[in-house]
């Protein structure tokens, strides 16, 4: 079975596979001299600079943002945390915040990469609204459910048809 996020996103970049790994000296940004010799060594200042450039789309396209935020290493996690600090979700409902977030990047890549990005989003949403939802995991679950329901409502034909309330309660 596919993850909810799998159904939602389109692959927008042709000829630039998002799941390919860069070599051990990862180029952090187009035109940047900042490099990371190990994909697992987080440098806070470099992460802040990259996050700012990603947010401002300085040398990047919206589809590039997810590629940098969705990797499973310490540096990408730091970049994602810094990137999400540019978003202020206080007082927003989860669906409003998710829409605001997804307007700024194209959520592309492998399912696990998209899932990690939604986890970062959920963490930031919970930081901004700790009294509106019981936990960060609750925010993540609801964000994934919203993505799934949106895809079911607006996506291409699905072989099994639209979801029913009974089916949703079972899963």
**Per-residue pLDDT reduced to its tens digit, 130-157:** 999 999 999 999 999 898 887 777 766 5
Catalytic site includes residue 110: yes
Range of the domain at 166: 44-152+160-170
DSSP secondary structure code for residue 16 in this structure:
S
What is the Cα–Cα distance from 104 to 20, expressed in whole angstroms? 23
Would you call 18 exposed, middle or buried from its count of C-beta atoms within 10 A (0-12, 13-18, 19+)? Answer: middle
Q: Tokens 């977030």 belong to which residue?
A: 101
Residue 113 lies in a domain: yes
Residue 127 lies in a domain: yes
CATH number at residue 57: 1.10.1000
What is the Cα–Cα distance from 120 to 140, expressed in whole angstroms? 9
DSSP secondary structure code for residue 99 in this structure:
H
Instruction: Average the pLDDT over 110-118 and give the result.
Output: 91
Residue 51 lies in a domain: yes
Cα 137 from chain centre: 15
Are the CB atoms for 72 and 19 separated by under 8 Å? no
Q: Which helix (H) or strand (E) holds 35?
A: strand 35-36
Global pTM reads 0.70
Q: From the candidates 21, 82, 104, 110, which is the catalytic residue?
A: 110
CA gyration radius, the chain = 17
- φ, ψ for residue 36 (rounded to 5)? -120, 115
Number of domains in the chain: 1
Range of weakest confidence among 19-23, 105-109, 156-160 = 19-23
pLDDT, one tens digit per residue, over 27-49 is 444 444 444 444 444 499 999 99
Residue 11 lies in a domain: no
């Amino acid at each position: 079975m596919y993850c909810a996020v799998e159904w939602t996103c389109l692959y927008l970049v042709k000829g630039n596979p998002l799941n390919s790994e860069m070599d051990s000296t990862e180029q952090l940004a187009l035109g940047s001299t900042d490099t990371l010799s190990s994909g697992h060594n987080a440098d806070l200042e470099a992460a802040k600079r990259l996050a700012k450039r990603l947010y401002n789309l300085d040398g990047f396209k919206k589809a590039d943002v997810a590629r940098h935020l969705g990797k499973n290493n310490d540096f990408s996690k730091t970049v994602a945390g810094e990137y999400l600090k540019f978003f202020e979700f206080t007082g927003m409902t989860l669906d409003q915040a998710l829409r605001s977030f997804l307007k700024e990047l194209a959520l592309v890549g492998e399912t696990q990469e998209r899932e990690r990005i939604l986890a970062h989003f959920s963490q930031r949403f919970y930081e901004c609204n700790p009294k509106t939802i019981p936990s960060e995991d609750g925010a993540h679950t609801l964000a994934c459910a919203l993505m799934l329901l949106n895809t079911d409502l607006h996506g291409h034909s699905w072989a099994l048809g639209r979801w029913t309330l009974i089916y949703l309660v079972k899963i």
